[in-house]
Amino acid sequence: MTKTLSLPSGKIASLKKGRGFDLLQAQQKAKTSEEIPYALIAELAEIDGQKLVYEDILELDLEDVIALQAEISGKFTEAKATEVKETTQKSLEQEIA
C-alpha cells in the first residue's frame, strides 16, 4: 500500500508501507543512529516519481524533510504492541463453565 502526500515545496511524495527489511537497510546505510530516520525516508519514499538515496534526502527543503519525518514517525506511534494476558488451563476452564 502506498500513501501519496503533497509536500510543502509542492513536490509529490509516495510512501510505501515499510517492512522490517526496510528498517534494517536504513540502519545499515546510516552512519549514526541519528541518521536512521533520513535513511528510512530514502527506503520508503519516492519524490516526484524518483527513488532517492539517503544523501538526496539531506538535500531536500527542511519543511519537506520534517513533513516526511512526521509521516514516518506517525507510523511508529500507530504500531504499538499490546500486552496479552497469559491464561492457564484452569482459568480457561473457569471461563468456559
What tens digit of pLDDT does each residue of 57-85 get?
A: 999 999 999 999 999 887 655 555 566 77
Q: Longest Cα pair distance anywhere in the chain, in angstroms?
A: 64
Q: Regarding beta strands 12-16 and 45-47, do their DSSP bridges make them parallel or antiparallel, or are they unpaired? A: antiparallel
3-class secondary-structure state, position 77: helix
Indicate the pTM of the whole model.
0.73
Specify the DSSP element, H or E, that contains 25.
helix 20-29
Total tally of structural domains belonging to the chain: 1
Tens-place pLDDT, residues 8-52: 999 999 999 999 999 999 999 999 999 999 999 999 999 999 999
Domain span at 87? 2-96
Beta strands in the chain (DSSP E): 2-6, 12-16, 45-47, 50-51
Between these two residues, 9 and 96, which has the higher pLDDT value?
9
